Amino acid sequence: MKNSYETISAKIKNIKEEGSNSKLFTLERPRGFEFGVGQFVIVSLPGFGEAPISICSDPNDKKSFQLGVRKAGKVSSEIHNLKKGDRVGIRGPYGHGFPIELAEKRNVLLVAGGLGLEPLRPAILEIIANRKKYQKVQIFYGAKTESDLLFSNEYDNWLKNDINFNLCLDNPSGKFNLKCPFIEGLVTVLFEKIPLAPDPIAFLCGPPVMYKFVLEKLNKAGFKDEDIFVSLERRMNCGIGVCQHCAIGGKYTCKHGPVFSWADLKEYKGGYNII
């Protein structure tokens, strides 16, 4: 019997500062390790514990994969102390990510708030790798301030690949020489300023408050609930739908999620607001 809690070892090939308080780890991709857009792994750091972290790199890259880790809890803080060449345990990948196959031949809208850009980056990279498969692609990305921005050296490349990238900063410091233009305010202001491509499929990832307002905007813009996909964060221990920490209604964030269609999510919530 395969023990689901056993981990495989992955070597850290590179570490880079990315945004504030957060680092981008490039790891060797273990043999047979395949992942989809928006899936996550559980990283094990014996002595400190385990933490779910979404994979933020291109699924087409067969040699390595990347994890963006913000210092938040015990495990993530300890991950920050690791050095190039160190090894970590991983298990997974887990869950259902963004259904990128449904975006083929369609207009695509990606909405990210803060760290939410991480699980969406695989979608962006996949779109660039197979650009012809997708129609008009728009990104709405909101961050607090310039220093929080993730992957800022890649925006040029996204633009070059005919991706309509739109940035807003809630609290710009003006201290950085940001090449990319931005709008001041929360991600919702982008909906007021930027015209949406017709009938798109939307992938969302951000903090719960962002969902509340963005869903309102999408609803007003006439999006169908089945065309909206949302990635959720929950506490997780087992990663395989047993321990109950990540349950939402009748489903588990680790197993049926972390990405849910808004149409399904609406059904799951019983009497409670899930976001």
> CB 270 → other proteins: shortest distance, Å?
5
* Type and span of the H or E element at 164: strand 163-169
171 binds other proteins (CB under 8 A): no
Strands (E), 29-145: 40-45, 49-54, 64-70, 87-94, 108-113, 137-143
Binding status of residue 247 toward other proteins by CB under 8 A: yes
Interaction between residue 241 and other proteins (CB under 8 A):
yes
Closest residue by Cα to residue 121 from 101, 104, 141: 141
By CB under 8 A, tell whether 270 contacts other proteins.
Answer: yes
Q: Out of 129, 159, 221, 242, which residue is the one contacting other proteins (CB under 8 A)?
A: 242
Q: Is the peptide bond before 207 cis (omega within 30 degrees of 0)?
A: no
Q: Which of residues 197 and 247 has its CB atom nearest to other proteins in the complex?
A: 247
Rounded to an integer, what distance in angstroms lies between the CA atom of residue 58 and that of residue 185? 30
- Taking only Cα atoms into account, the Rg of the chain, rounded to an integer number of angstroms, comes to 18
| Nearest distance, CB of residue 147 and other proteins, angstroms | 14
Which residue is listed with tokens 């940035």? 167
Q: Are 118 and 40 in contact (CB under 8 A)?
A: no
> What mask of x and - would describe binding to other proteins in positions 181 to 220, judged by CB under 8 A?
----------------------------------------
The count of residues in the chain is: 275
Q: Is 74 in the site for other proteins (CB under 8 A)?
A: yes
Options 120-128, 197-205, 219-227, 265-273: segment touching other proteins (CB under 8 A): 265-273
Choose, by CB under 8 A, the member of 30, 73, 85, 198 that binds other proteins: 73
- How far apart (Å, rounded) are the C-alpha atoms in residues 238 and 12? 24
Judged by CB under 8 A, the number of residues near other proteins is 43
Only segment of 33-41, 197-205, 213-221, 237-245 that touches other proteins (CB under 8 A): 237-245
Q: Does 172 bind other proteins (CB under 8 A)?
A: no
Complex with other proteins: residue 198 or 270, whichever CB lies closer: 270
Could you tell me the CA-to-CA distances from 32 to 35, 58, 63, 221, 227 in Å, in that order? 10, 16, 11, 42, 31
Binding site for other proteins (CB under 8 A): 1-7, 9, 21, 44-51, 70-76, 87-89, 233-235, 237-238, 241-245, 247, 249-250, 270-272
